[in-house]
Structure 1
Amino acid sequence: MPRKAKTITIDGIDKKILRMLMEDARTPILEVARQVGISGAAIHQRLRKLEKAKLILGSKLIVNPEALGFGTRAFVGMYFDKAADAPTIIKLLKRVPEVLECHYTTGNWNVFLKVLCKNNDHLMQLLNTIQDITGVARTETFISLNQDIDRQVKI
């Protein structure tokens, strides 16, 4: 299970920097510095401080999955035979490239997955693969028709 992150305090300048880079992480540091009104070196120092405090976890390039033919996004609730099987099952799920996220949950399921497939036939094959894992009792699947909100925490 993930450890609880320490809460840190950020000032208005940090917020401006974060908002700009959350909008476009490729914004040049000198452009951020110009708009924020401090030196590029100060921006670098603040970013290092925020990275060290684990507020910034990194930056990444986002690929449009639909451009690669992945048109079916689904969520899969998984029921295990025994909760004690979870570490083994999760280890096997990490080998399945279609599984984008895996969350331990409260409620009905032991874990809840976010998966990405090319189409419904591909999803069916994936579900068979998941259901064949020893210790998986059953699954419950929800196909996403559209994603209208995709955002980060507000700074």
Structure 2
Amino acid sequence: MVKKYNAENEEEFQEQIIQIDDLDRKILKLITTNARIPFLEVARECGVSGAAIHQRVQRLLNLGVVTGSEFIVSPQKLGYNTCAYMGIYLEKASYDRKVVKQLREISEIVECHHTTGQYAIFIKIQTKTNKHLKKIIDTDLQAIDGISRTETFISLEQEFKRQIPIK
């Protein structure tokens, strides 16, 4: 029986390295290039039945190799023209969970990472303008107990973004 991946058992799945074969790799290359590709087209490309593709994709989902499909919203098309990264220093390491819980409430924070090095937490923020970013820093972030200081980097331009290679 294959144990299904879900948010509650994510750590358990992170520890496992899943073995995939050449057909799985070909499927992953096709569906990560175009998440909307019909399974029948994937089947034709792979030389197998549509049912086989459906079973393979379902297996990859259950194992947590693929965690879903999504539509990506362009922040710039919705007026979010400032992208910033921020390193967060905590007063104490024990404030970690409390701070992350409050960061989660700020909708402009689109990523949050626990890091090694000088910052305890590293976040990505999408705002409409630099002034909007300053307001979030001044009113929302500085109000969070446990944050001792922050360091902000504004991204001038994203050159590329990609998924890991399927080899």
TM (normalized to structure 2)? 0.89
> How far did residue 110 of structure 1 move?
1.0
- RMSD of Structure 2 on Structure 1 (CA): 1.0
Q: Distance in 2 between matches of 1:19 and 1:45?
A: 16
Q: Which residue of 2 aligns with 1:41?
A: 51
The CA distance in 2 between the partners of 1:86 and 1:53, in whole Å, is: 29
Match of 2:38 in 1: 28
Q: Distance in 2 between matches of 1:106 and 1:16?
A: 35
1:20-65 superposed Cα distances (whole Å, 9 cap, x missing partner): 1101110001111011100000001111111111101111001111
Which residue does the alignment assign to 2:67? Answer: 57
Alignment correspondent of 1:88 = 98
Any stretches of 5+ residues in structure 1 without a counterpart? none
Secondary structure of 1:62's aligned partner: coil
Tell me the equivalent position of 1:124. Answer: 134
Asked if 1:9 corresponds to 2:19, the answer is yes
Identity, % of aligned pairs? 44
Helix, strand or coil: the match of 2:123? strand
Letter in 2 for 1:113: I
Moved over 4 A (4+): none
Alpha-carbon offset, residue 131 of structure 1: 1.4
Structure 2 unaligned segments of length 5 or more: list them. 1-9
Distance (whole Å) between structure 2 residues aligned to residue 48 and residue 142 of structure 1? 40
Matched with 2:157 is 146
TM-score (norm 1): 0.96
Report the counterpart of residue 72 of structure 1 in structure 2: 82
Q: Which amino acid aligns with 1:154?
A: P
